[in-house]
Amino acid sequence: MRNYKRSSKRVSAEQLAGEYGAGNYFKYDIKASKITDAEIKRMATLANERLARLEKSGQSEYSREYQLVEHYALGDPNGKGSIYNVSDDFDRIRFTYSTRGMDPEERSYYVNTLRNFLRAETSTVSGTRQAVSKAYKSFADNRPGLSISEDQYKRLWKAYRESALPDKLSHQGYNAFIEMVQTTNLYQLSTDQMNEALQYLATSDNVTIAGRIGDAIAGAGGFLQNI
Q: What pLDDT sits at residue 80? A: 56
Query: Nearest Cα to 191, choosing from 226, 227, 161?
Result: 161
Q: What pLDDT sits at residue 12? A: 39
Q: Where are the domains of the chain?
A: 4-126, 143-220
Residue 180 vs residues 13, 135, 221: alpha-carbon distances, Å: 45, 19, 16
**Beta-ladder partners of 226:** 184
- Mean pLDDT of all residues in the chain? 81
Q: What is the pLDDT of residues 139-167, one digit of tens each?
A: 999 998 899 999 999 999 888 888 877 77
Query: DSSP state, 212?
Result: H
Q: What pLDDT sits at residue 68? A: 86
pLDDT at 20 over 50: no
Q: What pLDDT sits at residue 31? A: 60
- Measure the N-to-C terminal CA separation of the chain; round to a whole number of Å: 52
Q: What pLDDT sits at residue 42? A: 94
Q: What is the pLDDT of residues 102-138, one digit of tens each?
A: 888 888 888 989 999 999 999 999 999 999 999 999 9
Q: What pLDDT sits at residue 161? A: 83
**Beta-ladder partners of 95:** 84
Q: What pLDDT sits at residue 155? A: 92
Percent of all residues in the chain with a pLDDT value above 70, rounded to a whole number: 82
**Over residues 53-59, mean pLDDT:** 95
